[in-house]
């Protein structure tokens, strides 16, 4: 049985009904990872012995009819920006590469482990998650399972490549400027950035990108994603941004909620140059949705300007706050020059400049609020270009650019829920993502739309045996 090809719900059912054991399940995915990972470099640390041991304990408990959790025996990967007990959290940096092993789990890992899921290793990330290409000085680059010469995007590129290639059924990630949606698009899978505060940020110290970043899982489909979100989305008083939610189960509600009747489509958000191959695939996908009965409003413009400068004002400040104490460490000179440049710029930012950037976020959200009085969701390409070559230049339409993404960070600034599903495959053989955005706290609305659209457009898998 090809376990890597079936849905998370089906895999959980096979385990709960003892058609397969937890040992068999974990061993299957570990064998697959050990065979595939050398070509992809999606995992940077593995502990197969511990995973098999934990699977054995689950089998023993299940034999005694003990409650072992809804994900018992299912292995997963953990992005190397968050803690998983027994693994070093390197953050892709020489500053942390030799740190001690984590003694506790992050919020998401803790929730998944409580349901019996088993972390088998850490997935690669750019240093401190700073860019849309997964490469760092400690572990090197991760490659795209559709084309090993291409990037899987970032910053959750290791997790996305691991899921898309079937090394694990799901993995954890985070999204501060598109870091779930970009690699999901690049690797042909699905992802959801929840509204800020839906998934609590539980940490003994303030988080790095507090007003931009959210954690989240990466899985093959939106239904699998919703199942995982149901386990990690709830209010927590330790995070004063956390949001309450209704007792509904999202993975069940998305199948019964009315699909969106009206959607707006912005091909470029009003400011971004788009690669012709991306435009073609996304345009064809939107036409299919229209044929399926979705009323599409085409937008000539949306935002008055590219908010990249203001976004960087915020991220530069966050990196300066986070890394200024490390500047006296001799190893700091080995940190990625792009990260050090952000720190230097952040140290020069004024509080007024930061607050003005935050004000632009407010006005952008007002634009979206007005739009969502007329339509259910907003559609746009997930990325402006195709995934770049590993170590290569970022390109759009055959021309070198500084930013091949450009379309995701506005919705971190507005705190909006935003999903990415695969719109189709480009002429170059690379997946292209369709981004689906909803109003703040309209997460179920976005999930429902994403599942409906995913069923219309279909799903795609790289040919990795």
How confident is the model at residue 130, as a pLDDT?
96
Q: At what angle do helices 107-114 and 222-232 cross, to 10 degrees?
A: 100
Q: Identify whether 464 is part of a domain.
A: no
B/e letters for 350-365, b = 16+ CB within 10 Å, e = fewer, are eeebbeebeebbeebb
How confident is the model at residue 188, as a pLDDT?
97
How confident is the model at residue 255, as a pLDDT?
84
Q: In the chain, how many domains are there?
A: 1
Q: Identify whether 463 is part of a domain.
A: no
Q: Please enumerate in sequence order all residues whose Cβ is within 8 A of that of 387, keeping only pairs 6 or more positions apart, or say none.
A: 144, 147, 150, 151, 152, 153, 186, 404, 430
122, β-bridge pairs? 45, 78
How confident is the model at residue 23, as a pLDDT?
98
How confident is the model at residue 463, as a pLDDT?
75
How confident is the model at residue 465, as a pLDDT?
65
Alpha carbons 436 and 105: distance in angstroms, whole number:
31
How confident is the model at residue 248, as a pLDDT?
87
Q: Identify whether 462 is part of a domain.
A: no
Cis ω on the peptide bond leading into residue 155 (within 30° of 0)? yes
> Known catalytic residues?
79, 155, 179
pLDDT tens, the chain, 465 aa long: 899 999 999 999 999 999 999 999 999 999 999 999 999 999 999 999 999 999 999 999 999 999 999 999 999 999 999 999 999 999 999 999 999 999 999 999 999 999 999 999 999 999 999 999 999 999 999 999 999 999 999 999 999 999 999 999 999 999 999 999 999 999 999 999 999 999 999 887 777 788 999 999 999 999 999 999 999 999 999 988 999 888 889 999 998 888 889 999 999 999 999 999 999 999 999 999 999 999 999 999 999 999 999 999 999 999 999 999 999 999 999 999 999 999 999 999 999 999 999 999 999 999 999 999 999 999 999 999 999 999 999 999 999 999 999 999 999 999 999 999 999 999 999 999 999 999 999 999 999 999 999 999 998 888 776
Residue 301: give its domain's CATH number. Answer: 3.90.1300.10
Q: Please enumerate in sequence order all residues whose Cβ is within 8 A of that of 85, keeping only pairs 6 or more positions apart, or say none.
A: 101, 102, 103, 104, 105, 109
List the structure tokens of 268.
């470029």
Q: Identify whether 222 is part of a domain.
A: yes
Give burial (CB, 10 Å; 0-12/13-18/19+) of 465: exposed
The residue segments making up the domain with residue 327 are 3-457
Q: Identify whether 8 is part of a domain.
A: yes
Instruction: For residue 163, give Cα distances in angstroms to 125, 174, 220, 242.
Output: 14, 15, 7, 28
CB 117 within 8 A of CB 87: no
């Amino acid at each position: 049985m090809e376990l890597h090809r079936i849905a998370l719900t089906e895999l959980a059912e096979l385990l709960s009904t003892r058609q397969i054991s937890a040992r068999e399940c974990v061993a299957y995915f570990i064998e697959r990872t050990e065979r595939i990972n050398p070509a992809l470099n999606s995992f940077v640390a593995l502990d197969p012995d511990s995973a098999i041991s934990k699977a054995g304990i689950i089998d023993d408990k299940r034999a005694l009819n003990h409650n072992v959790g809804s994900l018992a025996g299912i292995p997963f990967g953990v992005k190397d920006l968050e803690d998983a007990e027994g693994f070093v959290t390197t953050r892709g940096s020489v500053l942390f590469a030799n740190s001690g092993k984590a003694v506790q789990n992050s919020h998401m890992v803790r929730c998944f482990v409580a349901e019996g899921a088993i972390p088998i290793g850490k997935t690669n990330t750019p240093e401190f998650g700073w860019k849309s290409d997964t490469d760092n000085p400690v572990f090197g680059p991760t490659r795209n399972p559709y084309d090993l010469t291409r990037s899987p995007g970032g910053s959750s590129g290791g997790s996305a490549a691991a899921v898309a290639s079937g090394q694990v059924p799901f993995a954890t990630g985070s999204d501060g400027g598109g870091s779930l949606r970009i690699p999901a698009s690049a690797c042909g899978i699905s992802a959801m950035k929840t509204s800020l505060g839906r998934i609590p940020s539980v940490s003994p110290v303030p988080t790095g990108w507090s007003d931009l970043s959210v954690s989240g899982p990466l899985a093959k489909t939106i239904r699998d994603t919703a199942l995982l979100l149901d386990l990690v989305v709830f209010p927590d008083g330790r995070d004063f941004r956390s949001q309450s939610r209704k007792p509904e189960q999202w993975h069940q509600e998305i199948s019964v909620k009315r699909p969106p009747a009206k959607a707006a489509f912005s091909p470029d958000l009003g400011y971004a140059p788009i690669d012709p191959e991306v435009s073609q695939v996304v345009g064809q996908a939107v036409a299919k949705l229209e044929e399926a009965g979705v009323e599409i409003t085409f937008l000539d413009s949306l935002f008055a300007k590219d908010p990249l400068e203001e976004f960087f004002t915020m991220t530069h400040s966050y990196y300066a706050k986070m890394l200024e104490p490390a500047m006296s460490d001799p190893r700091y000179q080995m940190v990625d020059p792009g990260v050090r440049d952000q720190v230097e710029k952040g140290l020069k930012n004024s509080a007024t400049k930061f607050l003005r950037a935050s004000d632009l976020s407010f006005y952008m959200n007002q634009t979206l609020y007005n739009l969502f009085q007329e339509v259910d969701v907003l559609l746009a390409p997930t990325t402006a270009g195709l995934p770049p070559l590993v170590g290569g230049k970022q390109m759009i339409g055959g021309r070198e650019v500084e930013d091949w993404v450009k379309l995701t960070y506005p919705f971190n600034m507005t705190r909006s829920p935003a999903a990415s599903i695969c719109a189709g495959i480009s002429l170059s053989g690379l997946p292209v993502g369709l981004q689906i955005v909803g109003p703040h706290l309209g997460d179920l609305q976005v999930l429902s739309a994403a599942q409906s659209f995913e069923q219309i457009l279909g799903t795609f898998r790289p040919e990795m045996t």
